[in-house]
Chains A and B, each alone.
Chain A
């Protein structure tokens, strides 16, 4: 079983919809949680970064972490066709240092159609 589970989708929504992306994890030692967006044939781009339970908002994006349930979410409001991409959750064991590998979920393929 993978340490980080993410529904690969694909997920198809109309423009303007609210999108909910989720990941669960099994290792309670994960302390840092990230969401990356990856367009086809491009490198992952950091969207959100959190290290505590609760919500963090950045524009149309909200990241939610529930450490007690080992569950993280990314919400996208007013989704746009340009949001169409693969969304990867990622987690890290260590923090406060300059090293620490990321463990990724499988990625969810999102398509926002006009």
Chain B
């Protein structure tokens, strides 16, 4: 079965640079979530989109922005990167037609390292 696709899988950036993370949800899923997981920590919710509109917002810094496009893929844009932004960034998707409706299925993550 198709899963959530994230790209790139690994990203190395310098401080103050920008980064763009991409997420392709499971086909027919209409909702995308972004989470940040620091080393040894639990995933922290950043932001979510439902039918291309922002549906919920968590602890996302103002330096970050995100959007969901007409094909339902989503991009997380991160500017003025800081050392503390180094983390695993997960995208999850949910929607109808899944084994358990409204449940979030996670991608493999993008590991961002800021030097």
Interface residues of A (CB under 8 A from B): 6, 32, 34, 36, 41-46, 49, 88, 95-107
Q: Can you name 20 A-B pairs with beta carbons within 8 Å?
A: A32-B102, A36-B106, A41-B109, A42-B108, A43-B106, A46-B100, A46-B105, A49-B100, A88-B43, A97-B102, A98-B96, A99-B31, A99-B50, A100-B102, A101-B33, A102-B33, A102-B43, A102-B45, A103-B45, A106-B42
Listed in ascending order, the chain B residues whose CB lies under 8 Å from chain A are 4, 30-31, 33, 35, 41-45, 48, 50, 55-56, 58, 88, 90, 92, 94-96, 100, 102-109, 111
Secondary structure of the A contact surface, majority rule:
loop
A107 to B31, CA, bound (A): 25
Determine the chain B residues whose CB is within 8 A of the CB of A105 once the complex forms: 42
Q: Inside 8 A of A106's CB, which chain B residues have their CB?
A: 41-42
Cα–Cα distance between A95 and B104 once the two chains are bound (Å): 12
Inside 8 A of A88's CB, which chain B residues have their CB?
A: 42-43
B95 touching A98, Cβ below 8 Å: yes
- In the bound complex, how far is the Cα of B50 from the Cα of A81, in angstroms? 39
Residues of B within 8 A of A102 (CB): 33, 35, 43, 45, 92, 104
